[in-house]
Amino acid sequence: MRPARRLADERGTTLVELLVAAALALVTCLAAISLLALHASIARSLQSELAAGSACAWALEVALRDVQLAGNDPRGVGVVALRAGSADSLELDADLDGDGSVDTSSAERRALSWGASSGGRVLRRLGAQSIGIASPVATGGFALRHRAADGSEIGAGRALAAAELGRVRRVDVEIAVRTGLVGRPEVRLRSTAAIRSRLPARRPG
């Protein structure tokens, strides 16, 4: 007669043991899938936030550059830097090619504004061509503040009168691009640009 231990070894794996092993494998697989899904969600969130941040930073840089170049007048013919301005729009002129005039059909006439189309966009117009430089931007996501030489705000929240446009020395620009994320719904950046043509001339020496 065979020993009891040897008989037990020859019985093999029982059905209960197989079920337990299958359950453990299933739990392990589900945990791995959940972890992968979490990582994918985090990656999508980071990608969305980075994309919004990059778009916001680029649009802000473009807007600040346009403000800085406003009124460029190498021949001293009296180029008007600001033609119109409000809380969410700006129209600028600059003689960029130095011919003594502003070609209104070219990039020498520029405009920045917010448009409601396609979920909201910051629009930049060069002559007759208009392009979106940041989206989606909600209502109030593009804000401009016009400041005098002493830093005081001119025409807060309204369109500036002709006399007020001539007093503007700096423009605060704020842009907020939506991310679609619950925790951080938008990336908001702000900065200030000086109209170089209106800055006091530096004395030599």
Domain ranges across the chain: 40-198
Among the listed residues 153, 193, 194, the one whose alpha carbon sits nearest the alpha carbon of residue 173: 193
All residues at 6 or more sequence positions from 14 whose CB lies less than 8 Å from its CB, including other chains: none
User: Which pLDDT band, with edges at 50, 70 and 90, does 5 fall under?
Assistant: low
d(CA 33, CA 78): 68
Burial of residue 63 (CB within 10 Å: 0-12, 13-18, 19+) is buried
Q: Is the pLDDT of residue 204 over 70?
A: no
- Mapping DSSP onto H, E and C, the string for 26-86 reads HHHHHHHHHHHHHHHHHHHHHHHHHHHHHHHHHHHHHHHHHHHHCCCCCCCCCCCCEEEEC
The whole-chain average pLDDT of the chain stands at 87
Residue 155 DSSP code = S
Measure the CA–CA gap between 192 and 188, rounded to whole angstroms. 14
pLDDT of residue 1: 47
Among 103, 81, 62, which Cα is nearest to 195's? 81
Q: What is the pLDDT of residue 183?
A: 73
Q: Is 169 in contact with 90 (CB distance < 8 Å)?
A: no
165, pLDDT greater than 60: yes
pTM of the model: 0.77
pLDDT tens figures, 84-97: 999 999 999 999 99
What does the angle CA 39 – CA 40 – CA 43 come to, to the nearest 5 degrees? 85
- Over residues 115-144, the pLDDT tens digits come to 888 689 999 999 999 999 999 999 999 999
Centre a 10 Å sphere on the Cβ of residue 42 and count the other Cβ atoms it contains: 10
Task: Report the C-alpha gap between 70 and 108 in whole angstroms.
Answer: 9
Residues 33-83 pLDDT 10s: 877 777 766 666 677 788 889 999 999 999 999 999 999 999 999 999 999
H helix or E strand, kind and range, residue 190:
strand 186-194
